[in-house]
């Protein structure tokens, strides 16, 4: 083979390879990895004990298994808020705990913090403030002090909060949700169920489409 031909061959292989590689990575990297869906259905239907937001008796119930230390869960917050805003009469959102304790050291205590806040009727306030400050407390060695500060900021009785956060009742409430999640073999968080069927979506538009399609 002539040297010039060899050069052309080498360079076109490399440049072509790189272009193909980038094209492939762009198509994969634009969407989050999809987990297997459709095969899992919700084992425990919505009950009165669940923490819910939105219209009672709504046609659509969205159950979320989530972890306060998971960045992807925090990122979904605005999407869910928008859903409630756009469909005020049709959607109810339920939050259930699935702290991934194997990778998140503070997730369990954060979940307990919301349950402790729930005793004083402020589950969702704690839910919001925990997600908003995730980066501040997720690397703390012992985050309880920080959680107490948050409790104070949303107007909780901090003394009661401090007692409740580590109480058996609160711990059991988190563990019960987690047990259900493990029973369904959920691969991670966030995991969503729309009227009992597992769904996944990448944007508000995709989620809203699932609602309007079934309306």
Partner 1 sequence: MKNLQRLLQKTNNVPKWLPILFLCIALFGFADASYLTITHINNVTLPCYIVEGCDTVTSSKYSEIFGIPVSLLGALYYLSIIVLTTLFLDKKYIGAIYIASLLTPLGLIASAYFMVVMFGILKALCIYCIGSAISSTILFILGILYITRFHNNNAYEQKKEGSQEKTQKEKG
Question: Does residue 29 bind partner 1 (CB under 8 A)?
Answer: yes
What does the DSSP 8-state code read for residue 41? Answer: B
Beta-sheet strand order (sheet of 191-194): 51-54, 91-97, 60-66, 191-194, 197-199
Return the number of the residue (27 or 47) whose C-beta is nearest partner 1. 27
Scanning 71-79, 83-91, 117-125, 148-156 for contacts with partner 1 by CB under 8 A, the matching segment is 71-79
Question: Who contacts 75 (Cβ-Cβ below 8 Å, separation ≥6)?
Answer: none
Question: Does residue 10 bind partner 1 (CB under 8 A)?
Answer: yes
Q: d(Cα 91, Cα 55) in Å, to the nearest integer?
A: 6
Question: Who contacts 205 (Cβ-Cβ below 8 Å, separation ≥6)?
Answer: none
What does the DSSP 8-state code read for residue 197? Answer: E
DSSP bridge partners of 198: 193
Return the number of the residue (54 or 190) whose C-beta is nearest partner 1. 190
Binding mask 30-69 for partner 1 (x = CB under 8 A): xxxx-x-------------------------------x--
Question: Does residue 26 bind partner 1 (CB under 8 A)?
Answer: yes
Q: d(Cα 76, Cα 204) in Å, to the nearest integer?
A: 9
Scanning 119-127, 157-165, 172-180, 184-192 for contacts with partner 1 by CB under 8 A, the matching segment is 184-192
* DSSP labels, 150-169: HHHHTT--HHHHHHHHTSHH
Which one of 42, 62, 100, 174 is in contact with partner 1 (CB under 8 A)? 100
Return the number of the residue (33 or 49) whose C-beta is nearest partner 1. 33
Residues that bind partner 1 (CB under 8 A): 6-7, 10-11, 14, 17-18, 21-22, 25-26, 28-33, 35, 67, 70-73, 75, 100, 102-105, 135, 138-139, 187-190, 202
């Amino acid at each position: 083979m002539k040297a010039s031909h060899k050069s052309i061959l080498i360079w076109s292989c490399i440049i072509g390879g790189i272009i193909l590689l980038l094209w492939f990575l762009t198509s994969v990297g634009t969407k989050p990895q999809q987990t297997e869906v459709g095969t899992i259905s919700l084992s425990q239907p919505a009950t009165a004990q669940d923490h819910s937001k939105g219209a009672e008796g709504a046609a659509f119930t969205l159950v979320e298994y989530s972890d306060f230390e998971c960045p992807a869960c925090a990122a979904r917050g605005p999407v869910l808020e928008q859903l409630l805003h756009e469909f005020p009469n049709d959607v109810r959102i339920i939050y259930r705990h699935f702290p991934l304790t194997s990778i998140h050291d503070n997730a369990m205590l954060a979940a307990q913090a919301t349950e402790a806040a729930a005793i004083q009727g402020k589950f969702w306030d704690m839910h919001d403030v925990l997600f908003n400050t995730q980066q501040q407390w997720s690397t703390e060695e012992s985050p309880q002090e920080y959680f107490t500060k948050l409790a104070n900021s949303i107007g909780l009785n901090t003394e009661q909060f401090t007692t409740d956060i580590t109480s058996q009742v609160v711990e059991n409430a988190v563990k019960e949700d987690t047990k259900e999640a493990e029973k369904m073999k959920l691969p991670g968080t966030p995991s969503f169920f729309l009227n009992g069927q597992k769904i996944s979506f990448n944007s508000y538009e995709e989620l809203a489409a699932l609602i309007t399609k079934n309306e």
